[in-house]
Chains A and B, each alone.
Chain A
């Protein structure tokens, strides 16, 4: 075990050096892009504090979803393109909380409480499946996510929910978007929130995000967490030292699924709406893009990658929209740059010659 430790330490030194070296051209481009957007914004009289507070809100809002990439990457199953599966578990919990007629914090916590067991169950099954298809996890995960989303469309369209906020006035099924106003919209955002130099700080949201990051960080310090990491880094070696790699991969996937479920609830409460049907389809790619922008690769990720990546990516998206709208009536520029940046960074990560 001691040998493993010293080896890990050497790895860590290498790691730091490599990270500085491979800070990466795409990341530099994105930072320059973001800075120039901010500079243009100030010249266009777009209030910078507002940009910043929007960025902070969306940082906390998307953060947990992005965090769900980390266990999967560390467990060796690659980018968690199966995120829609976790998201759907969260959505089911979110709807149950409304159906039970809960309001405020109890509703939000209730939603989490309903969705976590479901996510554990689904994540376990999903992790078991991923073990059967080692080597093609990302491709299969993408299509598994897509097909679950479309299968759930049938479920949403027939779901037996009664609450008038969710159900269509006539016929069966639930609405496409469900307002959380008066339920648990912005319960985290408005908790202890304050203004500083015109920048709104959503304290509760950020605390929750940091708390989740810390929990994941600590988990990966624990014995199980270290086993997961070892299994992801070098499965054969880990197997030889007595770690059941299949099991650690399942645990990693379960954790990712749970984080996906909690992540969408955080997202929904901040957004004020629950979006159903095809909405979760591409969320996996956006979350993957964010963690990659933060410096992760398809086999390596840290909490810091999540924090930085989400901030940069969301900052870019927040700034692109008003700037594009002012420069010309090019409203679609923001959407287009989102598509190009997010998929471009995933492509870049896939094309890296990682030690396969």
Chain B
């Protein structure tokens, strides 16, 4: 964490030093206050989710099963947002375009009748060129609309949806030949409004390995423990005073991981219903790889370029970075990841609405990462995962809580939509407000 902090402050070293000084002067009380203020949104949602869980009256096993599935389904898409934020382009609502590329690939692979892991691989390969091309176009457009990236990407998502409908509702059967009674409407033109994947791609990735939840946690915490110990040993050999707070943090995490390890061992050998929750482990592995990619890209030249461009486009340009190209690359990576993320999303759902399922991908992913504590200018893997957990918890509990509290599940649904829109609006507003105050100082 600290290391990342240092990296971030390299371009503005003096500001960084000032901030470090400031942190040192804080008393514990002030520290807590600062933590509360900075993580207001996340803390609010933890409380909200807690109340919702209580009200919904769900059993732990049921909730775990649902949430694990949803995390496996959605995390990849949420993680796709991180790189554009790093490059200073805000939340990329145009991941909708990536999702369309992924969905188009799924439609064609389903049409050709492939399924299972091979089908998923084929989808991923097929979606890549389309997604990269769309990402390139998006990046170019966003370069023209500098300073208005987010609203432009949002509108671009709507626009692309129109083009998508044009292709799959009007061109299929007229310009693009497709003979398939299951997929195509009875008139021979246009795809049906829902497409079922249960005979093909459904669980293509998830079913490669499935493990009971306690076993999954056991493996996860074992790996985490090994990593933490290695880090601690390496730190000890360096003997640097700067590392002290970091070491404290690592030790805390290690203790936490040990507790998790113990819990999972106990549960594994008990008769708890949680043993029936089966985690799509391979999907989780893929997500973990993407997390690592997002963490380690910072250490590459490209990642540093993203950072510099995100800090200050002008300084980046002066120091020899091709700003326009770097921004386009950020969006291309994001769009490609979104395409793959949407493939993971749909194979887990098993059926999807042809003209609707991609529409809100950008909005939901953005809401989730913001709930996790990200802002328009800073987003990490941790924000994405925490956001996925909180956002989907809210998704699971709000209709039930609405029914139990007010006798109407629909009210819970409205509340959920309100929260998704509202959290984006409030977070963007707060960010703009802080920026305005900073610029006045």
Contact = CB atoms under 8 A, between A and B. Distances in A.
Partners in one complex: yes
B425 interface: yes
Contacts of B417: 150, 153
A351 B418 contact: no
A150 B411 contact: no
Contacts of B147: 135, 356
A158 B425 contact: no
Contact of B418 (A138, A151, A329, A343): A151
B170 A336 contact: yes
A339 B169 CA distance: 14
Interface string B401-425: 0000010101100110110011011
A143 interface: yes
Interface in A123-137: 129, 132-136
A224 to B, nearest CB: 25
Given A157-B408, A339-B159, A350-B148, A142 B154 contact: yes
Given A140-B432, A154-B415, A336-B165, A146 B155 contact: no
A347 interface: yes
B181 to A, nearest CB: 18
A330 B170 CA distance: 7
Nearest to B147: A356
B113 interface: no
A223 interface: no
B187 A329 contact: yes
A336 B166 contact: yes
Given A132-B429, A140-B432, A343 B411 contact: no
Interface in A77-96: 81
Nearest to B435: A135
A353 B152 CA distance: 13
B145 interface: yes
B165 A139 contact: no
Interface of B is mostly: helix
A330 B151 contact: no
Contacts of A356: 146-147
A150 B414 contact: yes
B165 A332 contact: yes
Contact of A333 (B170, B406, B421): B170
B159 A340 contact: yes
Contacts of B415: 154
Given A153-B418, A157-B411, A350-B148, A143 B424 contact: yes
B232 interface: no
A344 interface: yes
Contact of B411 (A129, A144, A154): A154
B144 interface: yes
Contacts of A138: 148, 151
Contact of B154 (A133, A139, A149, A340): A139
Contacts of B433: 132-133
Interface in A314-345: 328-330, 332-333, 335-337, 339-340, 343-344
Contacts of B159: 339-340, 343-344, 347
Contacts of B431: 136
B101 interface: no
Contact of B421 (A133, A143, A337): A143
B242 interface: no
Nearest to A331: B169
Contact of B141 (A134, A153, A351): A351
Nearest to B152: A350
Contacts of B201: none
A59 interface: no
A132 B432 CA distance: 8
Contact of A350 (B145, B158, B406): B145
Interface string B385-415: 0000000000000000000001010110011
Contacts of A335: 165
B429 A140 contact: yes
A346 interface: yes
Given A336-B162, A340-B162, A147 B428 contact: no
A285 interface: yes
10 contacts: A135-B435, A136-B150, A144-B425, A146-B421, A150-B418, A151-B418, A330-B189, A332-B165, A336-B165, A356-B146
| Leading 6 A-B pairs by shortest Cβ distance | A143-B425, A339-B162, A343-B159, A133-B432, A147-B421, A147-B422
